[in-house]
Amino acid sequence: MGKEQSSFEKKLIRIKESAFWDAFRFTKDGRFKSTLLIYSFSLSFVFIAVYTAAYWLLLDPLELGLRPHLGVGLLILVESLVPALLGSLVCCSVHFISHDKKMVLFTYGWIVLFVAVLGGFCVITFSPQEMELIAVIASQFVAPPLVTGIALASALYVRHRKNDPFKRYQSLPDWQKNR
């Protein structure tokens, strides 16, 4: 007769047998196992739309207003960074209304995953000459939003973790917690 497994051993076996996609399955009560993954996945499409709108609305005014005053290299830099910064400010404002402060970072994680998959597809599909053009476009319109957005979201999350009142409460000695 075999020894019955403890609940801890059963949990370990269940964790070992579960896959990444189990996070997207429902529990017994009809809820998602990981709402953070689902919400951040959905929010990633909103972020992509915000960045697309920022570039679409700002490129022409920046081009018309700054072309007489700036050189070509500086104009390209400004046209890449200004919409990226404004889009990042709009996207990272979700941090302030979100209950889970990791939401924005996970959303940028999804976007990085999308870009990596799309980049892999481009490497397989396109010729080297076409890849040069794609690399130029990506350096102007994909990299700046990701870099500015991830930097701003990371700074906000680190600031939140540093100023977390619950964390400060936990670090107090037991005799001060009951005051």
Q: What is the pLDDT of residues 101-133, one digit of tens each?
A: 889 999 999 999 999 999 999 999 999 999 999
Confidence category of residue 59, pLDDT binned at 50, 70, 90? confident
Q: How far apart are CA 165 and CA 99, in angstroms?
A: 15
Confidence category of residue 85, pLDDT binned at 50, 70, 90? very high
Calculate the average pLDDT of the chain: 83
Mean pLDDT value across residues 36-42: 88
Q: What is the pLDDT of residue 167?
A: 64
What is the percent of the chain where pLDDT is above 70?
74
Closest CA to 146 of 120, 116, 113, 108: 108
How would DSSP label each residue in 69-87? TS-HHHHHHHHHHHHHHHH
Q: How far apart are CA 87 and CA 81, in angstroms?
A: 10
- Cβ atoms of 146 and 112 within 8 Å: the answer is yes
Q: What is the pLDDT of residue 101?
A: 86
Half-sphere exposure of 101 (CA within 13 A, CB side): 14
Q: What is the pLDDT of residues 61-75, one digit of tens each?
A: 888 887 788 888 888
Closest CA to 103 of 38, 8, 159: 38
What pTM, to 2 d.p., does this model score?
A: 0.73
Q: Using a CB cutoff of 8 Å and minimum separation of 24, what contacts does 158-167 make? A: 160/95, 160/101, 161/101
Q: How far apart are CA 78 and CA 141, in angstroms?
A: 12
- Burial zone of 10 (CB within 10 Å; 0-12 exposed, 13-18 middle, 19+ buried): exposed
Q: What is the pLDDT of residue 105?
A: 93
User: Domain ranges in the chain?
Assistant: 33-163
Q: Which residue has the tokens 């990701």?
A: 146
Per the structure block, which two tokens stand in for 59?
Answer: 């490129």
Helices and strands in the chain: count of H runs, count of E runs: 9, 0
